[in-house]
Amino acid sequence: MALTGEYVPSSSQWVRDQVAEFEASDGQRANTLPDHPEWPIVVITSVGHKSGKLRKNPVMRVEHDGAYAAIASKGGHPEHPEWFHNFVAHPEVDLQDGAEKHTYRARLVEGDERALWWERSVAVFPRYDEYQASTEREIPVFVLERGRASGLADGGRASGTAEPAKP
Protein backbone atom coordinates (compact mmCIF):
# COMPACT_ATOMS: atom_id res chain seq x y z
CA MET A 1 0.00 0.00 0.00
CA ALA A 2 1.50 3.33 -1.06
CA LEU A 3 2.26 5.93 1.57
CA THR A 4 -0.20 8.80 1.70
CA GLY A 5 -0.02 12.26 3.20
CA GLU A 6 1.35 15.71 2.58
CA TYR A 7 4.63 15.82 0.66
CA VAL A 8 7.21 18.38 1.76
CA PRO A 9 9.98 18.83 -0.82
CA SER A 10 13.61 18.79 0.30
CA SER A 11 15.31 21.98 1.41
CA SER A 12 18.08 21.05 -1.05
CA GLN A 13 17.40 22.48 -4.52
CA TRP A 14 19.18 19.69 -6.43
CA VAL A 15 17.17 17.03 -4.55
CA ARG A 16 13.88 18.86 -5.25
CA ASP A 17 14.78 19.19 -8.93
CA GLN A 18 15.91 15.60 -9.35
CA VAL A 19 12.88 14.12 -7.59
CA ALA A 20 10.47 16.34 -9.57
CA GLU A 21 12.04 15.41 -12.93
CA PHE A 22 12.31 11.72 -12.00
CA GLU A 23 8.64 11.53 -11.02
CA ALA A 24 7.40 13.68 -13.93
CA SER A 25 9.11 11.32 -16.39
CA ASP A 26 8.07 8.12 -14.59
CA GLY A 27 11.73 7.47 -13.85
CA GLN A 28 12.91 7.88 -17.45
CA ARG A 29 14.88 11.11 -16.77
CA ALA A 30 16.95 12.24 -13.77
CA ASN A 31 17.50 8.56 -12.99
CA THR A 32 21.24 8.82 -12.39
CA LEU A 33 23.43 10.86 -10.09
CA PRO A 34 23.68 14.36 -11.63
CA ASP A 35 26.49 14.45 -14.21
CA HIS A 36 27.20 10.73 -13.72
CA PRO A 37 25.12 8.53 -16.06
CA GLU A 38 27.01 5.46 -14.83
CA TRP A 39 25.47 5.77 -11.34
CA PRO A 40 21.71 5.01 -11.34
CA ILE A 41 19.39 6.16 -8.57
CA VAL A 42 16.00 5.25 -7.13
CA VAL A 43 13.68 7.61 -5.27
CA ILE A 44 12.59 6.60 -1.78
CA THR A 45 9.59 8.17 -0.05
CA SER A 46 9.58 8.04 3.74
CA VAL A 47 7.54 9.51 6.57
CA GLY A 48 9.29 12.32 8.44
CA HIS A 49 10.27 11.25 11.95
CA LYS A 50 9.33 14.67 13.39
CA SER A 51 6.79 16.12 10.95
CA GLY A 52 4.96 12.96 9.91
CA LYS A 53 4.99 14.36 6.36
CA LEU A 54 6.25 12.59 3.27
CA ARG A 55 9.89 13.13 2.28
CA LYS A 56 11.54 11.99 -0.95
CA ASN A 57 15.21 11.29 -1.51
CA PRO A 58 17.22 9.97 -4.43
CA VAL A 59 19.64 7.23 -3.36
CA MET A 60 22.03 5.05 -5.32
CA ARG A 61 20.36 2.05 -6.96
CA VAL A 62 21.72 -1.06 -5.27
CA GLU A 63 19.40 -3.99 -6.02
CA HIS A 64 19.80 -7.73 -5.51
CA ASP A 65 17.04 -10.31 -6.02
CA GLY A 66 14.30 -7.70 -5.62
CA ALA A 67 15.70 -6.17 -2.42
CA TYR A 68 17.46 -2.81 -2.31
CA ALA A 69 20.14 -1.26 -0.13
CA ALA A 70 19.94 2.31 1.15
CA ILE A 71 23.31 3.53 2.38
CA ALA A 72 23.06 6.34 4.96
CA SER A 73 26.41 7.86 3.98
CA LYS A 74 25.57 11.58 3.74
CA GLY A 75 28.74 11.87 1.70
CA GLY A 76 30.88 10.85 4.68
CA HIS A 77 29.68 13.62 6.99
CA PRO A 78 29.85 12.91 10.73
CA GLU A 79 26.05 12.74 11.12
CA HIS A 80 23.41 10.54 9.52
CA PRO A 81 21.17 11.91 6.76
CA GLU A 82 17.69 12.94 7.93
CA TRP A 83 16.11 10.04 6.07
CA PHE A 84 18.02 7.65 8.36
CA HIS A 85 15.89 8.88 11.27
CA ASN A 86 12.75 8.59 9.13
CA PHE A 87 13.53 4.94 8.32
CA VAL A 88 14.15 4.14 12.00
CA ALA A 89 10.90 5.78 13.16
CA HIS A 90 8.76 4.67 10.19
CA PRO A 91 10.33 1.70 8.35
CA GLU A 92 7.56 1.43 5.76
CA VAL A 93 8.79 3.28 2.65
CA ASP A 94 7.91 3.57 -1.02
CA LEU A 95 10.67 2.99 -3.54
CA GLN A 96 10.45 3.95 -7.20
CA ASP A 97 12.91 2.29 -9.59
CA GLY A 98 12.21 3.62 -13.07
CA ALA A 99 8.46 3.31 -13.61
CA GLU A 100 8.07 0.63 -10.91
CA LYS A 101 6.92 1.82 -7.48
CA HIS A 102 6.30 -0.46 -4.51
CA THR A 103 6.13 -0.39 -0.74
CA TYR A 104 9.05 -1.86 1.18
CA ARG A 105 10.08 -2.32 4.77
CA ALA A 106 13.49 -0.91 5.70
CA ARG A 107 15.64 -2.69 8.24
CA LEU A 108 19.14 -1.98 9.44
CA VAL A 109 21.58 -4.77 8.81
CA GLU A 110 24.71 -5.62 10.74
CA GLY A 111 27.55 -8.13 10.74
CA ASP A 112 27.93 -10.44 7.75
CA GLU A 113 24.71 -9.22 6.14
CA ARG A 114 25.88 -5.61 6.36
CA ALA A 115 29.27 -6.60 4.91
CA LEU A 116 27.59 -8.34 1.97
CA TRP A 117 25.32 -5.37 1.19
CA TRP A 118 28.21 -2.93 1.69
CA GLU A 119 30.26 -4.88 -0.87
CA ARG A 120 27.35 -4.82 -3.33
CA SER A 121 26.91 -1.09 -2.75
CA VAL A 122 30.59 -0.26 -3.26
CA ALA A 123 30.52 -2.27 -6.49
CA VAL A 124 27.78 0.10 -7.73
CA PHE A 125 29.16 3.31 -6.18
CA PRO A 126 32.86 3.07 -5.21
CA ARG A 127 32.79 6.41 -3.38
CA TYR A 128 31.09 4.72 -0.44
CA ASP A 129 34.51 3.41 0.64
CA GLU A 130 35.87 6.98 0.52
CA TYR A 131 32.91 8.22 2.55
CA GLN A 132 33.47 5.54 5.19
CA ALA A 133 37.16 6.46 5.42
CA SER A 134 36.28 10.12 5.98
CA THR A 135 34.01 9.61 9.00
CA GLU A 136 34.36 7.99 12.41
CA ARG A 137 30.81 6.60 12.39
CA GLU A 138 30.02 3.27 10.79
CA ILE A 139 27.81 4.19 7.86
CA PRO A 140 24.45 2.47 8.35
CA VAL A 141 23.11 0.08 5.73
CA PHE A 142 19.39 -0.53 5.34
CA VAL A 143 17.91 -3.35 3.30
CA LEU A 144 14.49 -2.68 1.80
CA GLU A 145 12.34 -5.75 1.20
CA ARG A 146 8.84 -6.53 -0.04
CA GLY A 147 6.58 -9.48 0.72
CA ARG A 148 6.14 -11.74 3.71
CA ALA A 149 9.68 -11.38 5.00
CA SER A 150 9.15 -7.65 5.29
CA GLY A 151 5.75 -7.78 6.99
CA LEU A 152 4.09 -6.15 3.99
CA ALA A 153 2.44 -9.16 2.38
CA ASP A 154 -0.77 -8.59 0.46
CA GLY A 155 -0.38 -4.81 0.66
CA GLY A 156 -0.63 -4.82 4.45
CA ARG A 157 0.68 -2.00 6.56
CA ALA A 158 3.99 -2.39 8.33
CA SER A 159 4.10 -2.38 12.09
CA GLY A 160 6.93 -1.77 14.52
CA THR A 161 10.08 0.22 13.96
CA ALA A 162 13.58 -0.39 12.73
CA GLU A 163 16.27 -0.77 15.34
CA PRO A 164 18.73 2.13 15.49
CA ALA A 165 22.31 1.47 14.47
CA LYS A 166 24.74 0.66 17.23
CA PRO A 167 27.46 3.26 17.80
Q: What is the mean pLDDT of residues 102-119?
A: 98
Cα angle 135-50-114, degrees, rounded to a multiple of 5: 40
DSSP code of residue 7: B
Whether residue 112 lies inside any domain: the answer is yes
pLDDT in tens, 2-26: 999 999 999 999 999 999 999 999 9
d(CA 26, CA 60): 17
Q: Please check whether residue 42 lies inside any domain of the structure.
A: yes
The C-alpha atoms of residue 123 and residue 61 are separated, in whole angstroms, by 11
Domains of the chain: total: 1
The domain of 77 spans: 13-155
Q: Do the domain assignments include residue 1?
A: no
Give 36-80 pLDDT, tens digit per residue.
Answer: 999 999 999 999 999 999 999 999 999 999 999 999 999 999 999
Please check whether residue 142 lies inside any domain of the structure.
Answer: yes
Q: Report the percent of the chain where pLDDT is more than 70.
A: 88
Q: What CATH number did the domain enclosing 42 receive?
A: 2.30.110.10
Would residue 64 count as lying in a domain? yes
In whole numbers, what is the pLDDT of the chain averaged over residues?
91
Residue 63 falls within a domain, yes or no?
yes
